[in-house]
A and B are shown apart, each in its own frame.
Chain A
């Protein structure tokens, strides 16, 4: 079974990498030879062994005691496997944080009990919400530094609840864990220093509460046209089925032109298929009135006749700005489509902020607002570079 991706978010130095190190060490998810190698390198370079070195593998990361790039480590649970995604907690490295967090099934927010809520605590939560990560747990870390006092824990979570609610997470549904990643309290092993805490450990939360990714099979059909390949004397359209199902003989719509056509064949490497579903990368032939595929190309979307997928020329939603654009002419990407447009709102942009946006496109585009599919998720590009990530509302 596929590993479930979980991202660790939070401010720098609050202990994200250390918590990953502790989790993989105490579950024996790291190979012994790998651990020994790291200890030897630390010794020969005169550094103290840190749990974070299990994921902070760059020389610069260890010397500067910070995560500089996102990375992943496998966590072996009793029932399932997970990918723990480490991201930098520094403001300057937010592009790397986005790369790690996108696509995560759940998030663990790590907060230093002494420092409480800091700039990236809030920012990472906003990003997680924007990226559509609904499953969240909060680890209140470094409890050993406050003598495992319940009052200190309560103080921090009270403030955290306010921030969570403001960002759109229902705080009464979120679990808070008093832990020490460094000492290992309540991470995999239950702590004997916090009798006042009766809840789950981090590992129990991961194993019992993080749900499997949902299948897109029962959502409306979205086939993203990725490319066109010649096949003998004809052409086939290739691409992934993002959601729904497709069968031979089915009448479908090609967006954004809303041309009706019929699925003539579906094929993969093994030959012709009668049907296919979300998750498969296939090739199809279609029949339509003018008998050619002219005009059908990368960026088009094939959907069912009764689908909620629609075409819009004005698109709006929320985005996180990695940096401010150099002018208002941007490119919006959604699915495999890439369309130029004029950014109408906001007028003032500060990098590192989440804002609503509105863009007027040069032509129509297929979108599926507020959906979990790729047609509800976008990036904005400025001269070919991704500068904003967000959704369509």
Chain B
């Protein structure tokens, strides 16, 4: 084994196992890619799991409201890694942009895309430590015909065993569920994975989580290198998504959105 931290190795290996399970169990999986640190890390993990190849297409739910740096980063990775990119157009009434509409409109666009392409599994890079509602997820989580998440009837997931999902419209797969924000950054550093430059501090501010430019705010930070980000996260008392209006409006917004099919 390489000299990488044992903890990171365990995280990586578990994710690889889940990605290979996804390939073995589903006919037509896709990865949701926001160009953020987590989903880019996921693409990289796919390369590791499948010996350098990316067997699944990557979906970008694109509203035109992402930051310019995000689009540049997308083009760079698509070219370097040979990503099969599918763009799902997100429609917006420009005067009505808020955290909630960001979530709802993306969920709507995703629904159409899954129907058009008949994807049966969607790999999503959520983590338990991001949000109390996301902590309730499973690695393999079915969504019903109306795309709803029925958290009261989640099937058991015991050891590595899961049920079949005959009634599901598609299954959400969460290979990063057990990672933390700090783990992701330590892993990016260790594996030298490219990331969006907006995460680095400029003039005393940096983005910790990326969404629409209108509803995403930077945090105060002097972390202008990846090492400084790691140091900052080790002591931070501020939640990762504190710059995202989507989660802040009210605690239960996230639950409602997830039930409706949001990521």
Give the B-binding residues of A (Cβ under 8 A): 1-2, 31-34, 37-38, 41, 44, 54-55, 57-60, 68-74, 95-96, 98-99, 102-103, 226-227, 229, 231, 238-240, 267-270, 277, 279-281, 283, 298, 322, 333, 374, 377, 379, 381, 384-386, 389
Return chain A residues, CB-CB under 8 Å to B23.
Answer: 227
Task: Please give me the residue from chain B that is nearest to A68 by CB atom.
Answer: B152
B27-35, B56-64, B117-125, B237-245 - interface stretch? B237-245
A267 contacts which of B49, B51, B251 (Cβ < 8 Å)? B51
A281 contacts B17, C-beta separation under 8 Å: yes
Can you list 12 A-B pairs with a CB-CB distance of less than 8 A?
Answer: A2-B10, A31-B238, A41-B251, A57-B133, A57-B251, A69-B154, A102-B157, A240-B13, A281-B17, A333-B161, A374-B160, A384-B164
**Contact A279 B13, CB 8 Å, known A33-B242, A384-B164, A385-B155:** yes
Instruction: Please give 11 more A-B residue pairs, beta carbons under 8 A apart, in addition to A69-B151, A74-B180, A239-B20.
Output: A55-B135, A57-B131, A57-B135, A71-B135, A99-B158, A227-B20, A240-B17, A269-B47, A281-B20, A374-B159, A386-B163
**Interface stretch of the complex, out of B1-9, B85-93, B103-111:** B1-9
Task: Give the residues from 1 to 57 in chain B that come closer than 8 angstroms, CB to CB, to chain A.
Answer: 1-2, 6-7, 9-11, 13, 16-17, 20-21, 23-24, 47-52
Tell me the bound Cα distance from A240 to B10 in angstroms.
12
CA distance A149 to B22 in the complex (A): 54
- The answer on a CB contact under 8 Å between B51 and A231 is yes
Residues A269 and B159 in contact, CB atoms below 8 Å apart: no
CB distance A279 to B9 under 8 Å? yes
Q: Collect the chain B residues with CB atoms within 8 Å of residue A239's CB.
A: 20
Of the listed residues A2, A37, A227, A280, the one surrounded by the most CB atoms of chain B closer than 10 A to its CB is A2
Question: Which residues of B sit under 8 angstroms from A1, Cβ to Cβ?
Answer: 6-7
B27 CB, min distance to chain A CBs, angstroms: 14
The complex places the Cα of A281 from the Cα of B1 at a distance, in Å, of 11
Neighbouring A residues of B96 by C-beta, 8 Å: none
Q: If A74-B129, A281-B13, A389-B156 touch, does A34 touch B239 (CB 8 Å cutoff)?
A: yes
In the complex, what distance in Å separates the CA atom of A3 from the CA atom of B137? 18
Candidates A59, A102, A227, A279; contact of B252 at CB < 8 Å: A59
B250 at the interface (CB under 8 A from A): yes
Chain A residues positioned under 8 Å from B24 (CB to CB):
226-227, 298
A269 to B51, CA, bound (A): 5
B-chain residues with CB within 8 Å of residue A70 when the two chains form the complex: 136
Please, how many angstroms separate the alpha-carbon atoms of A386 and B161 in the complex?
A: 8
Number of chain B residues whose Cβ lies closer than 8 Å to a Cβ of chain A: 53
Asked if B79 is at the interface of the complex by the 8 Å CB criterion, the answer is: no
Question: Which residues of A sit under 8 angstroms from B48, Cβ to Cβ?
Answer: 268-269
Q: Is the CB of A31 within 8 A of B239?
A: yes
- Residues B132 and A68 in contact, CB atoms below 8 Å apart: no
Distance in Å: Cβ of B28 to nearest Cβ of chain A: 16
Give the distance to chain B from A348, nearest Cβ to Cβ, in Å. 23
Q: B171: shortest Cβ distance to chain A, in Å? A: 13
**B148 within 8 Å of A (CB atoms):** no
Give which listed residue, A41, A72, A277, A384, contacts B163 with CB less than 8 A. Answer: A384
Tell me the bound Cα distance from A99 to B10 in angstroms: 20
- Contacting residues, chain B, for A226 (C-beta < 8 A): 17, 20-21, 24
Q: How far is the CA of A88 from the CA of B240 in the complex (A)?
A: 27
Q: How many A-B residue pairs have CB under 8 A?
A: 135
Pairs of residues from A and B, 4 with the lowest C-beta to C-beta distance, nearest first: A57-B132, A384-B164, A41-B251, A269-B48
Instruction: List the A residue with the shortest CB-CB distance to B138.
Output: A99
Name the residue in B10, B20, B49, B158 with the highest tally of chain A Cβ atoms < 10 Å from its Cβ: B158
**A-side contacts of B160, CB under 8 Å:** 374
**Nearest chain B CB to A89 CB, angstrom units:** 15
In the complex, how many angstroms separate the beta carbon of A7 from the nearest chain B beta carbon?
13
- From known contacts A283-B51, A385-B164, A389-B156, infer whether A71 and B9 are also in contact, taking CB-CB under 8 Å: no
Bound form: Cα–Cα A136–B200 in Å = 45
Q: A267-B51, A384-B163 are in contact. Are A69 and B158 (CB under 8 A)?
A: no
- CB contacts (< 8 Å) of B135 on chain A: these are 55, 57, 71-73
Q: Give A282 Cβ to nearest chain B Cβ, in Å.
A: 10
Asked if B166 is at the interface (CB within 8 A of a chain A CB), the reply is: yes
A54: nearest residue on chain B (CB-CB)? Answer: B132
A55 in contact with B132 given A2-B10, A377-B159, A384-B163 (CB within 8 Å):
yes
Q: In the assembly, what is the distance between CA of A70 and CA of B47, in Å? A: 31
* B202 interfacial by beta-carbon distance below 8 Å: no
B164 CB, nearest partner CB in chain A, Å: 3
- Residues from chain B with a CB closer than 8 A to the CB of A98 are 156, 158
Contact partners of B242 in chain A: CB under 8 A: 33
Contact residues in B for A55 (Cβ distance below 8 Å) = 132, 135
Q: Which of B7, B11, B136 contacts A69 (CB 8 A)?
A: B136
Query: In angstroms, how far is the closest chain B Cβ from the Cβ of A235?
Result: 12
Chain B neighbourhood of A322, CB < 8 A: 156
Report A41 CB to chain B, min CB distance, Å: 4
B196 beta carbon closer than 8 Å to chain A = no
Contact of A41 among B9, B50, B250 (CB under 8 A): B250
Q: Which chain A positions have C-beta within 8 A of B51?
A: 229, 231, 267-269, 283
CB distance from B239 to the nearest CB of A (A): 5
**B159 adjacent to A102 (CB under 8 Å):** yes
The residue on A at minimum CB distance from B16 is A281
Q: How far is the CA of A57 from the CA of B134 in the complex (A)?
A: 9
Bound together, the chains give a CA A305 to CA B133 distance in angstroms of 48
Kindly identify which residue among B129, B156, B251 contacts A37, using a CB–CB cutoff of 8 Å: B251
- Asked whether, in the complex, the Cβ of A69 is within 8 Å of the Cβ of B152, the reply is yes
CB proximity of B81 to chain A, nearest CB, Å:
13
